[in-house]
Chains A and B, each alone.
Chain A
């Protein structure tokens, strides 16, 4: 029976492939349609929030922070109501993470504010004694990559039908220069609550620093 296969590597490989692929077919495929539907009222990320999300990915915040509140009392008490599948419908990629060295951030927008984040990102130990989170001074000097964020918004809108420009939802204009103007307007709203003079001055010159985009993203996590 199987022993014959070791003398016939071609069939060996075919059988092996079937055995390996089987789990994927049964497990992965049939559930795709169902779990990707957004919950009612869920809005896509604005372009600025996407830029912030990319900062989050670039500096790999998910190596220490989860975004998945499990259905236990101890977790809902600490972080808020547990996470639902439909809340992640616009998350490409998902950012659940596999390690919680720092607290879960799935609803951090509910209980932390712009100015808190500003101080905390600059120097976590100054805000929370004993914190082991790194300082992120370069978020205050590096510019956010808003061009890529614009590309990304256009892509998800065109390819995956993310409902931008629909009633009440964030907008994605046709050209980058319009998009940039929108992002700067949104950034200015956030910068009102911030103190760092360098960040504010840059914004006046049309340059959005990473920290502003990141805070826009963190505030959107609710």
Chain B
């Protein structure tokens, strides 16, 4: 039982560090997205232009193929 406890403790600590780094890295990554030409904010429009006849923001691949036929 004690060894399980110990492994658990280390595993927990390790995971926490990994997650903290990952999450902070993630913020930086997201905010640098613009430089790579990645515009996340346009996806907000999914809620605003949601009528069946509204322009589709980004179609799925298979349908793009369909329409190019």
Contacts and interface: CB of A to CB of B under 8 A. Distances in A.
B11 A26 contact: yes
A33 B1 contact: yes
B24 interface: no
Chain B interface extent, by class: 10 to 19
Chain A interface extent, by class: under 10
A131 B69 CA distance: 80
B8 A26 contact: yes
A1 B11 contact: no
Contacts, number: 16
B12 A1 contact: no
Given A26-B8, A26-B11, A26-B12, A1 B1 contact: no
Interface string B17-52: 000000000100100000000101001000000000
Contact of B40 (A3, A26, A30): A3
A204 to B, nearest CB: 53
Contacts of A6: 43
A2 interface: yes
Given A1-B26, A2-B26, A3-B40, A30 B11 contact: no
A30 B8 contact: yes
Interface string A1-43: 1110010000000000000001000100010011000000000
A181 to B, nearest CB: 44
Nearest to B11: A26
B15 to A, nearest CB: 8
A34 B1 contact: yes
B28 to A, nearest CB: 11
Nearest to A19: B19
Nearest to A33: B1
A33 B15 CA distance: 24
Given A6-B43, A26-B15, 14 more contacts: A1-B26, A1-B29, A2-B26, A3-B38, A3-B40, A22-B15, A26-B8, A26-B11, A26-B12, A30-B4, A30-B5, A30-B8, A33-B1, A34-B1
16 contacts: A1-B26, A1-B29, A2-B26, A3-B38, A3-B40, A6-B43, A22-B15, A26-B8, A26-B11, A26-B12, A26-B15, A30-B4, A30-B5, A30-B8, A33-B1, A34-B1
Give 3 closest A-B pairs by Cβ, nearest first: A30-B4, A30-B8, A34-B1
